[in-house]
Amino acid sequence: DQQVKQNSPSLSVQEGRISILNCDYTNSMFDYFLWYKKYPAEGPTFLISISSIKDKNEDGRFTVFLNKSAKHLSLHIVPSQPGDSAVYFCAATINQAGTALIFGKGTTLSVSS
Binding region for other proteins (CB under 8 A): 4, 32, 34, 36, 41-46, 49, 51, 89, 91, 93, 95-98, 100-101, 103-106
Write down the least CB distance from residue 98 to other proteins, Å. Answer: 4
Shortest approach of other proteins to residue 36 CB, angstroms?
8
Q: Which is nearer to other proteins, 70 or 97 (CB)?
A: 97
**Least Cβ distance, residue 95 to other proteins (angstroms):** 5
Q: Which of left, alpha, beta for 18 (phi over 0: left; psi -120 to 50: alpha)?
A: beta
Spell out the residues 6+ positions from residue 32 whose beta carbon is closer than 8 angstroms to its own.
49, 50, 51, 52, 92, 93, 94, 95
Identify whether the C-beta of residue 25 lies closer than 8 Å to the C-beta of residue 7: no
Least distance (Å) between residue 111 CB and other proteins: 21
The residue among 78, 92, 87, 88 whose CA lies nearest residue 3 is: 92
Q: What is the three-class DSSP state of 63? A: strand
The residue among 8 and 49 lying less far from other proteins, judged by its C-beta, is 49
Question: How far apart are the C-alpha atoms of 26 and 13, rounded to whole Å?
Answer: 28
Pick 79 or 108: Cβ nearer other proteins = 108
Q: Considering the complex, state which of residue 26 and residue 51 has its C-beta at the smaller distance from other proteins.
A: 51
